[in-house]
Structure 1
Amino acid sequence: MSESIESNLEAINQRVAAACAKAGRSTDDVQLIAVSKKFPADAVRGAYEAGHRVFGESRVQEAIEKVPTLPGDIDWHFIGRLQKNKVRKALPLFSTFHSVDSLSLAQAIDRIAREEGYFPRVFLQTNIADESSKTGFSRAELMEQIDTLLELERLQIVGLMTIPPPRQDPEGTRRDFAAVRELRDEIVAATGVPLPELSMGMSGDFELAIEEGSTCVRVGSAIFGQRAY
């Protein structure tokens, strides 16, 4: 398993580099998050032995069981939907939360982070296409609530995250990514607060995301193979 993971990881890194070159960007500007949710600790260890250090999980309970068995210098990112009753358990495990999708969740994380002594990095999840099946801030909600969000002292809000709807036309996906970048730029202009990060792009579309300014791509199956759901 570890040999295939190593070769897959090398291939993804090459694709990231090619997308950066096409966009005139440095590979140093893009972080690859290896999404290890529903894969065993041995799979993570294989990627770790190949030199990778940043991994993403989407279930707190799975992380509680997995994280302590793996090297302590791994940088764990939470990428799934976070329930408020799991925040206290999640904060010691993850440096970064990509899926803060409401003001109430942000306030809960801020309150518990203050109690427990954490300063988590946070991405605000945007529902850029206003899909009824997805959570996240609409454009209007984010513009209305951003000042309140930025006042939460324990949160290091670093940027926006999105999962665009599946589209047949890649250019439609490109427009979704571009819309998130433009929204980020609008917020920066309105608030004066730097938001340098954009968490956009997964196994099927990360190259497009990089071309549109993504700084974090979340890739799982292209590294670890298909999950056994």
Structure 2
Amino acid sequence: MSIQQNLEHILSRIRAAELRAGRPAGSVRLVAVSKTFPAEDVKACHDAGQRIFGENKVQEGLGKIPSLPPDTEWHLIGPLQRNKVRKALEYFTLIHAVDSLRLARFMDTVAQETGKRPRILLEVNVGNEDSKFGFFPETLEKEWPELSSLNHLEIAGLMCIPPPVENPEEARPYFRRLRELKEVLSGRGGATLTELSMGMSHDFETAIEEGATLVRVGTAIFGGRSYAPAS
């Protein structure tokens, strides 16, 4: 199928999942994950009506941004290195994977220097996996008072990548954990958390049923990825 057909199919599944969950139509936004795909594929998806795209790396995103119309919204969904923070704050509308208090402090400083107030999500390691980035839930609760007091950041919500599972139902407890954590933290320190970025190509419907407001779908829209071999 074409990118347009794939996109239409994903959007229809999102709407059906919203309906099943008793949620209003349009309460879930699709982030089309365009990492590793060329700008012409992103343009084809934009032509089909999609407006939000997710990139894993700042530099790769910067190579595509000039090729797309100005109404395109770019999200950074991969790990953010400190030396890329200034560029990220300049070009990305939402940064999904702020994974430590140290990074948040640094971003707050850069935001103050540049006169910006970036919207960010805090990445939560809901499976307590040593191999993954993100706040452990208990660490996030402990560090929340300082995080929520950073005056130059807008903490819009939380994000997670649950442990890999074959059956999407097995991811449900992790999505539920993230939603419950958002409910616990929202309002504390004046931060009103509205976003939950969770769910990808294989499990986004389950994530929607558990409260996702942003789902990150790439391969189901653009097709399989071919990664360049490491040099």
Superposed pair shares fold, TM > 0.5:
yes
Q: Compute the displacement of 1:207 (Å).
A: 0.1
Partner of 1:23: 21
Q: Compute the displacement of 1:212 (Å).
A: 0.2
Partner of 2:114: 116
Partner of 2:199: 201
Partner of 2:141: 143
TM-score of the two chains, using structure 2 as the length reference:
0.95
C-alpha distance in 2 between matches for 1:220 and 1:202: 8
Mapped contact 1:158–1:195 kept (Cα < 8 A) = yes
Partner of 2:125: 127
Partner of 1:51: 49
Going from structure 1 to structure 2, the CA distance change for 1:22 and 1:193 (only over 3 Å counts) comes to same
Q: Compute the displacement of 1:69 (Å).
A: 1.9
Mapped contact 1:164–1:173 kept (Cα < 8 A) = yes
Name the aligned partner's letter for residue 69 of structure 1: S
Deviations 1:191-223 (A, max 9, x none): 463211100000010000000000000000001
C-alpha distance in 2 between matches for 1:123 and 1:136: 11
Q: Compute the displacement of 1:65 (Å).
A: 1.3
Q: Counterparts in 2 of 1:63-102, with a 5 A limit?
A: 63-102=61-100
2:96 aligned counterpart, secondary structure: strand
Q: Compute the displacement of 1:15 (Å).
A: 0.3
Name the aligned partner's letter for residue 98 of structure 2: V
> Greater shift after overlay, 104-113 or 202-211?
104-113
C-alpha distance in 1 between matches for 2:168 and 2:85: 35
2:17 aligned counterpart, secondary structure: helix
> Greater shift after overlay, 206-215 or 153-162?
153-162
C-alpha distance in 1 between matches for 2:188 and 2:109: 26
Gaps of 5+ in 1: none
Partner of 2:215: 217
**Residue-pair matches, total:** 227
| Aligned residues with identical type, % of pairs | 52
> Greater shift after overlay, 50-59 or 64-73?
64-73
Q: Compute the displacement of 1:12 (Å).
A: 0.2
Name the aligned partner's letter for residue 150 of structure 2: L
Partner of 2:163: 165
What do you get for the CA RMSD once the two structures are aligned? Answer: 1.3
Gaps of 5+ in 2: none
1:29 aligned counterpart, secondary structure: coil
2:225 to 221, 224, 227: 227
2:216 aligned counterpart, secondary structure: strand
Partner of 2:183: 185
2:186 aligned counterpart, secondary structure: helix
> Greater shift after overlay, 91-100 or 188-197?
188-197
Mapped contact 2:187–2:193 kept (Cα < 8 A) = no
C-alpha distance in 1 between matches for 2:8 and 2:78: 25
Partner of 1:61: 59
Mapped contact 1:16–1:27 kept (Cα < 8 A) = no
Deviations 1:149-204 (A, max 9, x none): 11111111011100000123433210110011111111126546321110000001
Mapped contact 2:4–2:48 kept (Cα < 8 A) = yes
Partner of 2:11: 13
Mapped contact 2:15–2:25 kept (Cα < 8 A) = yes
TM-score of the two chains, using structure 1 as the length reference:
0.96
Mapped contact 1:99–1:123 kept (Cα < 8 A) = yes
